[in-house]
A and B are shown apart, each in its own frame.
Chain A
């Protein structure tokens, strides 16, 4: 499948800092959306909710051992795009996804693809914490159990403990293993869901605002976790905190009303954005 990629764009003026900026009307993707030997590639992705066009012709790669941050104003389609990457949008009746998305060269929307192993490989932490109404232990053990990752109880206990430790929740809940996960506080639930996701060791992890309800200490534990996971895996993270994006990510993508406006090295995006909309957003003039 050949997909034309937007590269040229109207050059419209000189920015305040003397750099060339693309003006606010321009909707072409600025920057380099592609990387060498990408883990996941997206080409010409369009998403519709019924008639609503939520993602507009987006192309983006997620490289190996890298963290891609997705930022943008509320409602711009970050969650929607993330949910395309493990086909979670399949569960929404009205949602239609077009374009090509591959994982290790395989088209994940292909006819012969089974979503079950795909989602085990591409794990997801949801925007709203959604623990099961089961015990804390069972919440974390659920994934390993269905995929048969543990031979026996001892191994399962170990997976549960390591996952909870990595998510920075172990100390708080180690004596409450049989208590319901729904009884935890919002931030604890968020970490429980992170532990639940990493318990199945997915190779690509999609995190939708994983720290939105966390205090600075818990946030830094999760950021350390992301750094550690990056050694082996690929991570896409949606965040509203630009400090967090610059701390954890190598590349950043800025979305605006369904368009991918600008993508590039995190440092470059936050210091010398090339699109006026990106500049507006990171300097706080928008959203």
Chain B
């Protein structure tokens, strides 16, 4: 049997072959040097164009085929099965289809084997073989036809370069739209669930309510769990922890960037920068350990020593560690913008007799400020979206408090706790996670847009 991988490999192989013969053909058409000058494009472009004609339609058919193949085969197999099975309700039918597929790929089957199942599996296999063979024929024919057509068309007047460039441009456009569509897709999927939530809980209650306690009574007679969906305490917790993180990260990150880019000698820089980057590469879950096992107890002990009432999971611990996590982020972004300030700017200040600190404070930093602000805003959205550290170190109780020594909770932590485990997917409790996610998404999106706008403005400044 011909596997899809073989077909794919064959397409690639033929495509590279097409490049070679297309290029050869261009040389042949041209004849000599003088002929080459007459050609609209250089031979490489004729080769590329041939390769594209050969490869792109084949790949498109191949991918479309792969996407639809299994669905169509399944339909055909079902159609060929006895009526008694075909008339089963859809979910039972699904189970059987799964069994057939498992049988085909040699996995364990849940139901007991019977003759019908076996026959169906054989049918499936047979159809698959036919499909692969057909795909091979179609692809090969397509390649032959397309390549012949384009080879015929190669002539001095064929505008191969323009065509190749247009095709490449479209490929680039397609790639860049993937990111956009993904964003839209995520937004929509969250939006629909959130709308279902807001059908049950009013928007105002969610946005302005002061009490967050999403446990709902499962049975009518259960007590205590009424369900309150006021998101203010959750957002307040997020804000407090992010604020603590920024208070730690911005000054330290910025100053280390200033030191590294303006004062440090090259040897120190060569050692310190990679070390900073290691700090950025530590998985957040490890920071989580650090916060929960080291920093939180330390803060509690210190607090108790001072006679303060400190909970074992405090906003301060999570915020501090999150700040440490963000330091390299802030410092490497600021380092980049500070380095982007032209040396001529510093020379101008030095040439007037400014000291190094005057130059940094009055010329370099103001010039780099928009970029730094952009970097800080990106860091803020990073802090708001951070989950692991707060899950491990900040706690679950949604207290509305301004005391950083108390337990608070954040949006991301709540989303995790609401969705982890077995949940009903239509209770307000679960849907609340999507509403939280939506608000979080919008908030970070706005921050990112502002940040990017600021950064872009900065780019234009030295033109």
Contact = CB atoms under 8 A, between A and B. Distances in A.
A196 B344 contact: no
A112 interface: no
A88 B347 CA distance: 7
Interface in B87-122: none
A146 B358 contact: yes
Contact of B367 (A115, A117, A124, A133): A133
Interface string B311-352: 000000000000000000000000000000011111111111
Interface string A67-90: 000000000000000000010100
B182 interface: no
A143 B345 contact: no
Given A91-B343, A132-B367, A146 B348 contact: no
B363 interface: yes
Given A133-B462, A182-B461, A91 B350 contact: yes
A121 to B, nearest CB: 8
Contacts of B354: 116, 142-143, 146
B342 to A, nearest CB: 7
Contact of A124 (B351, B355, B461): B351
B348 A131 contact: yes
B347 A146 contact: no
A18 to B, nearest CB: 46
Interface string A119-137: 1110110101011111000
A193 B344 CA distance: 12
A120 B353 contact: yes
A133 B350 contact: no
Contacts of A130: 342, 344-345, 347-348
B152 interface: no
Contact of B344 (A115, A119, A128, A146): A128
A200 B342 contact: no
B344 A126 contact: yes
Given A133-B462, A182-B461, A126 B353 contact: no
B266 interface: yes
A51 interface: no
A93 interface: yes
Contact of A119 (B346, B351, B362): B351
Contacts of A131: 348
Nearest to B266: A93
A91 B462 contact: no
Using C-beta atoms within 8 Å of the partner chain, give the interface range for chain B: 20 to 34
Given A132-B367, A133-B462, A134-B366, A123 B352 contact: yes
A86 B353 CA distance: 10
A147 interface: yes
Residue in B266, B345, B348, B363 with the greatest tally of chain A CB atoms within 10 Å: B348
B353 A146 contact: yes
Nearest to A142: B352
A197 B462 contact: no
B373 to A, nearest CB: 15
B353 A200 contact: yes
A116 B355 CA distance: 6
Interface string B347-389: 1111111110010001100110000000000000000000000
B352 A126 contact: no
Nearest to A124: B351
Contact of B350 (A119, A128, A182, A196): A119
Residue in B342, B345, B352 with the greatest tally of chain A CB atoms within 10 Å: B352
A193 B366 CA distance: 19
Contacts of A133: 345, 366-367, 461-462
A115 B366 CA distance: 24
A120 B351 CA distance: 7
A182 B352 contact: no
B31 to A, nearest CB: 46
Contacts of B462: 133, 182
A65 B118 CA distance: 108
B183 to A, nearest CB: 34
A184 to B, nearest CB: 13
A196 B461 contact: no
Contact of A91 (B266, B346, B352, B362): B346
Nearest to A90: B350
Contacts of A200: 352-353
Nearest to B358: A146
Interface string A136-166: 0000001100110000000000000000000
Contacts of A117: 353
B461 A143 contact: no
A88 B350 contact: yes
B414 to A, nearest CB: 44
Interface in A188-247: 193, 196-197, 200
Contacts of B266: 93
B364 to A, nearest CB: 10
Contact of A196 (B345, B352, B366): B352
Interface string B247-277: 0000000000000000000100000000000
B345 A132 contact: yes
Given A133-B367, A133-B462, A182-B461, A91 B353 contact: no
B352 A120 contact: yes
Given A134-B366, A182-B462, A197 B351 contact: yes
Residue in B266, B345, B354 with the greatest tally of chain A CB atoms within 10 Å: B354
A228 B279 CA distance: 59
Contact of A197 (B352, B362, B363): B352
Nearest to B355: A116
A142 B349 contact: yes
A196 B350 CA distance: 12
Nearest to B460: A182
Contacts of B349: 132, 142
A86 B350 CA distance: 10
Contacts of A182: 461-462
Interface of A: 86, 88, 91, 93, 115-121, 123-124, 126, 128, 130-134, 142-143, 146-147, 182, 193, 196-197, 200
Given A119-B350, A130-B342, A197-B351, 12 more contacts: A91-B346, A91-B350, A120-B353, A126-B348, A128-B344, A130-B345, A133-B366, A142-B352, A146-B352, A146-B354, A196-B352, A200-B352
Interface of B: 266, 342-355, 358, 362-363, 366-367, 461-462
11 contacts: A119-B352, A121-B353, A126-B344, A130-B345, A133-B367, A133-B461, A142-B362, A182-B461, A196-B352, A197-B351, A197-B352
